[in-house]
Amino acid sequence: GAVVSQHPSWVICKSGTSVKIECRSLDFQATTMFWYRQFPKQSLMLMATSNEGSKATYEQGVEKDKFLINHASLTLSTLTVTSAHPEDSSFYICSAKGLAGGHNEQFFGPGTRLTVL
């Protein structure tokens, strides 16, 4: 149980285009989902927290107009990187907490590798 999927697993796009990444909780309902990015040989940095049906909360330094997050249902959150540039190339990982929320365990997706040319 507690499986989180991401799609696509990797994507290559041209500079200036937008890319959408999906995060799904497959066997549980997630009131809260998190989006992280990871640069090579570095740790995960939290970008934003999204709660179903409400606006995402972004961490300091993360541009909310560039990284659009939508959490429209209890099983799906999307991250759209708008007008992508090479510096946005990174590994993006989502995680989800179950309905109990709180300090319960987060379950992580397999990640999406974004390369912007």
Partner 1 sequence: KQEVTQIPAALSVPEGENLVLNCSFTDSAIYNLQWFRQDPGKGLTSLLLIQSSQREQTSGRLNASLDKSSGRSTLYIAASQPGDSATYLCAVDNDYKLSFGAGTTVTVRA
Residue 23 binds to partner 1 (criterion: CB under 8 A): no
Site for partner 1 in 75-104 (CB under 8 A): 91, 93, 95, 102-103
Q: Using DSSP bridges, classify how beta strands 67-73 and 57-58 pair: parallel, antiparallel or unpaired.
A: unpaired
Taking the complex as a whole, how short is the minimal distance between the CB of residue 16 and partner 1, in angstroms? Answer: 26
DSSP string, 13-26: E-TT--EEEEEEES
Residue 26 binds to partner 1 (criterion: CB under 8 A): no
Taking every pair of Cα atoms in the chain, the longest distance, rounded to a whole number of angstroms, is 41
Q: Which stretches of the chain are assigned E, i.e. beta strand?
A: 4-7, 10-13, 19-25, 30-38, 44-51, 57-58, 67-73, 76-81, 90-98, 107-108, 112-116
Q: Which stretch binds partner 1 (CB under 8 A): 17-25, 45-53, 63-71, 80-88?
A: 45-53
Q: How many residues bind partner 1 (CB under 8 A)?
A: 21
Residue choice 44, 62, 68, 74 for contact with partner 1 (CB under 8 A): 44
Contacting residues toward partner 1, per CB under 8 A: 6, 34, 42-46, 49, 91, 93, 95, 102-103, 105-111, 113
